[in-house]
Amino acid sequence: MLRAIILSTAFLATACATAEAQRAEPTLDLSTAQVIIAACVDHAAANGHGVAVSVFDQHGNLKAFAQMDMADASVRDVSQWKGRSAAMYGVASA
């Protein structure tokens, strides 16, 4: 009987720890990523800049990308490097 109690207690402790480890985190959805892209492009256009904008989720996955017509071709790669780094390390890249 004592063994059954100990085993059931151990099982419950493991189940509780597993449930805690699976906390849901909010994930960036496509519509929000597109709003971010639009705001950045509008701001750049209003100030006469040509930019590329990359939006990544918290796992470092690309969610949305835009490159303005007047942007240099090299800014695409820089935009994605900076965006991925910011997402992976949780620090702004500006």
Question: Residues 19-78: pLDDT tens digits?
Answer: 556 677 778 999 999 999 999 999 999 999 999 999 999 888 999 999 999 999 899 999
Measured CA to CA, the distance from residue 19 to residue 31 in angstroms comes to: 30
Q: Which fold has domain 26-89?
A: Beta-Lactamase (3.30.450)
Extents of the domains making up the chain: 26-89
Please give the residue that has the higher pLDDT: either 75 or 5.
Answer: 75
Name which residue leads in pLDDT, 11 or 27.
Answer: 27
Of 11 and 76, which is predicted with more confidence?
76
- Residue 66, helix vs strand vs coil: strand
Q: How far is CA 76 from the centre of its chain?
A: 18
Specify the pTM: 0.69
Angle at 67 between CA 60 and CA 34, to 5 degrees: 60
List, in sequence order, every beta strand (DSSP E) within 1-94.
Answer: 52-56, 62-67
Burial of 55 (0-12, 13-18, 19+ CB in 10 A): buried
